[in-house]
Amino acid sequence: MQTLNLASNTGGIKSPNPFWLASAPPTNSAYQVKRAFEAGWGGAVWKTISHEPIVNVSSRYGAVDYDGRKVMGLNNIELITDRTLDVNLREIREVKREFPDRALVVSLMVETKREVWHDIVKRVEDTGCDGLELNFGCPHGMNERGMGAAVGQVPEYTEQVTVWVREVARTPVLVKLTPNISDIRYVGRAARRGGADGLSLINTLNSIIGVDLDTLAPKPHVAGRGSHGGYCGPAVKPIGLNMVQQIASDPQIGIPVSGIGGIQAWQDAVEYLLLGSSSVQVCTAVMHYGFRIVEHLLSGLEMWMLEKGFRQLSDFVGKSVPAIGDWADLDLGYKIVAEIEQDKCIHCGLCYVACEDGAHQSINRRKMTEDDFAARVGNGGAQRVDFSGGVRYMPGAADGYANIFEINQQTCVGCNLCSLVCPVSGCINMVEQPSDIPRMTWRQYQDKLVKGDVQRIQPPAHV
């Protein structure tokens, strides 16, 4: 078995593997960060420090569960460090001494004043840490005081503070971006102009978890009142992926990214790497399951790299970035239709009702008698036939029939909704078919229309 090289370098900050802890409650103390490093994490960004500790409220977290599964998304109204600067600096120094090979980055947020930033940068770098992360993203509690997202939403402020920091910093500087913005590239470019060595994104999203239907109070609540909070966890991954890709593909940026947002399984981390991240940061999954999850992240990444023939991260970081672009550059002539593998079908009808009510009415339903169904076990019929007390019973059949669902490939538009709702993996597949429409992007189509080189595309058949 070949040895893999999992070392990562994010703007000059090196770590033995790309898995860092994000600046958050899990990186609040030396006790925690040491145990994280013992568990195998490659790096950690210390929970945002400031000259004075803040005071937190209780409760602080809310979660969105999904049909019984816990914490699909998490929301917090916790603030930056509630410990003194001295204690933080002492502990950072201690951890760095004990784990020289791991990346120890410190997140900072202070008043928007040059000398205040200068002071904290010097004091923090004295600890021997490997880099700084400027928190321009906290969406609650700090932005009301002119810090956090108040800076990150305004490109000019982002650039200015980054310049101040760069004036005195001796270690690499990462700027952490907020997603609560219309186009994250503007702030990304501003940070780059200010001299950032790399960008960390995304921070949390403005959100309200919900309302308690008994008390009518918000969730979470502090003595019956609430505030908007920062949303994170598996639910936000697609938003993070999109923004990372936007930054990674922007020619005006061109500096490394540390990807953050909903990473829970190893696949999530690899997706961030493929879309341009040099390292990834995790918070919610650790708050849910503990530091031990890093073993699963490492194991999954390794197995995948071996399977794909990759030896080091640079073999694949950013590899999927160029494939994403404008909608107008997508091929109108690429035709796929759905296909149901009858041997795998369990006859639940979910594809049918989704297509019929919510898409393009292209799935046919016909009744097969129970006897025919029983006769075709494993071959477009019953999955199994059982008897008890002389009574025959089969999953999917009752009242004399079973429903057989088939795609009408003449009218199927290939939207692939059915393939998403089908509970059986590999049962509904999308297959490519020759198309009546020539292979061309929408841009090319507009061009050809003007020149008269192509007929206008007709609407698809509808019921």
Partner 1 sequence: MKTPLTLEQLGNNFSDLHPAYRQNEALVEAARCLFCFDAPCTRACPTHIDVPRFIRQILHDNPAGAAKTILSENILGGSCARACPTEVLCEGACVDRTLGGPVQIGRLQRYATDYAMNGDLRFFQPGRETGKTVAIVGSGPAGLSCAHELRKMGHAVTLFEARDVAGGLNTLGIAAYKITTEFALSEVELVRQMGAHIRLNSPVDAAKLARLRASYDAVFLGIGLGATAKLNLPGEGAADVWEALDFIFQTHTQPLSECHVGQNVIVIGAGNTAIDVATEAVRLGAANATIAYRRSQEEMSAFAYEYELAQNDGVRFEWSVQPVEFVLRDGKLTAIEFQRTRLGSSGRPANVELVAGSEFTMVCDMAVKALGQMALLELLAGVNGVRFEKGKLVVDPETGSTGASGLFAGGDCISLGAEIVNAVQEGKIAARGIDQYLRRGIVTGSE
Contact positions vs partner 1 (CB under 8 A)? 67-69, 346-350, 352-353, 365, 383-384, 386-391, 393-399, 402-403, 423-424
Annotation says 138 is catalytic: yes
Amino acid at 46: W
* Closer residue to partner 1 (CB): 124 or 394: 394
* Distance of alpha carbon 11 from alpha carbon 128, whole angstroms: 17
For the CB of residue 71, give the shortest distance to partner 1 in the complex, in Å.
15
Residue 426 CB-half CA count within 13 A: 2
Contacts of 129 (CB under 8 A, 6+ apart): 46, 92, 96, 104, 105, 106, 171
Amino acid at 11: G
For the CB of residue 421, give the shortest distance to partner 1 in the complex, in Å.
9
Query: Which CB contacts under 8 angstroms, 24+ apart, belong to 450-459?
Result: 457/332
Q: What is the total residue count of the chain? A: 463
Contacts of 276 (CB under 8 A, 6+ apart): 244, 245, 247, 248, 249, 257, 259, 317, 318, 321
Terminal alpha carbon distance of the chain: 57
* Distance of alpha carbon 357 from alpha carbon 42, whole angstroms: 48
* Closer residue to partner 1 (CB): 31 or 393: 393
For the CB of residue 235, give the shortest distance to partner 1 in the complex, in Å.
18
* Closer residue to partner 1 (CB): 67 or 436: 67
Structure tokens at 431: 């297959």
Structure tokens at 331: 């091929």
Q: Which helix (H) or strand (E) holds 357?
A: helix 350-358
For the CB of residue 350, give the shortest distance to partner 1 in the complex, in Å.
6
* Distance of alpha carbon 75 from alpha carbon 61, whole angstroms: 6
* Distance of alpha carbon 178 from alpha carbon 277, whole angstroms: 16
Residues 355 and 418 sit within 8 Å (Cβ to Cβ): yes
* Closer residue to partner 1 (CB): 67 or 183: 67
* Distance of alpha carbon 357 from alpha carbon 94, whole angstroms: 61
* Closer residue to partner 1 (CB): 122 or 366: 366
* Distance of alpha carbon 253 from alpha carbon 247, whole angstroms: 7
Q: Which helix (H) or strand (E) holds 125?
A: helix 114-125
* Closer residue to partner 1 (CB): 294 or 418: 418
Q: What number of other Cβ atoms are within 10 A of residue 55's Cβ?
A: 7
* Distance of alpha carbon 399 from alpha carbon 420, whole angstroms: 29
* Closer residue to partner 1 (CB): 190 or 397: 397
Integer Rg of the chain from CA: 27
Q: Of 138, 345, 415, 427, which is the active-site residue? A: 138
Structure tokens at 325: 């672009």
* Closer residue to partner 1 (CB): 68 or 100: 68
* Closer residue to partner 1 (CB): 327 or 387: 387
> Across the strands, what pairs with 357?
none
* Distance of alpha carbon 318 from alpha carbon 273, whole angstroms: 6
For the CB of residue 418, give the shortest distance to partner 1 in the complex, in Å.
12
The residues annotated as belonging to the active site are 138
